[in-house]
Chain A
């Protein structure tokens, strides 16, 4: 079956540091890939997505590139802010169905 593996957290960074959160996946076929963010006490917000190999999703300074050869979709940001503190989820969806499969999430804390 499908699965998503994220790097273990928590991740603690200082403001303006570089962020990488690793995500790898297992899927049959060619899934779409997503990063969702969950701020404390809130639901999930779509951060970015990529629908085919070599696509780069980007939003709010975050980027991730769909790497089919390494089955990865790592999230990066060049300079994090305190307001980026949240839980980040990597997810995939097969083309043939609607279901999202999530990783366990990575807690990011950014200190001033």
Chain B
């Protein structure tokens, strides 16, 4: 079975531009989350979606937005890119929303974004 897939794997953008990152969760998983990992740091939570509704948002500016589609895939959008947005963006999926202690969260390989 395919794991969490993300695209593109690498991209370079200029300051002020917009970027869209895509994620397909594991088949049957209805929950998708996004994390930002700056070089040398641990991942930071950005968003969680479950059944196409936003269920959680981290401490990120409004330039960051996301959505989940009927097939449970997801997009992360970042507007007005800043140099500091350069990071690895990780998508994670899970079979349930949360609250089940044994539930496992699976991560994709990530999308490397460089802003120049």
The residues of A with any CB-CB pair to B shorter than 8 Å are: 4, 32, 36, 42-46, 49, 51-52, 89, 91, 93, 95-105
Contact B106 A46 (CB under 8 A): yes
List B contacts of A93 (CB < 8 A).
98, 105
B112 CB to closest chain A CB, in angstroms?
9
Partner of B45, one of A44, A100, A103: A100
Q: How large is the interface on B (under 10, 10 to 19, 20 to 34, 35 or more residues)?
A: 20 to 34
Closest chain-A Cβ to B16's Cβ sits at a distance in Å of 28
B43 A95 Cβ-Cβ under 8 A: no
Q: Are A43 and B101 in contact (CB under 8 A)?
A: no
Check if B45 sits within 8 Å of A101, measured CB to CB. Answer: yes
Interface code B30-59, partner A: CB below 8 Å = 1, 0 otherwise? 010101000011111100101000011010
Neighbouring A residues of B110 by C-beta, 8 Å: 42-43
* Nearest opposing residue in chain B for A36, CB measure: B107
A105: nearest residue on chain B (CB-CB)?
B42
| 27 CB-based A-B contacts, threshold 8 Å | A32-B101, A32-B102, A36-B107, A43-B4, A43-B90, A43-B110, A44-B92, A44-B107, A51-B102, A89-B43, A91-B42, A95-B101, A96-B99, A97-B99, A98-B94, A98-B97, A98-B98, A98-B105, A100-B33, A102-B42, A102-B43, A102-B44, A103-B42, A104-B41, A104-B42, A105-B40, A105-B42
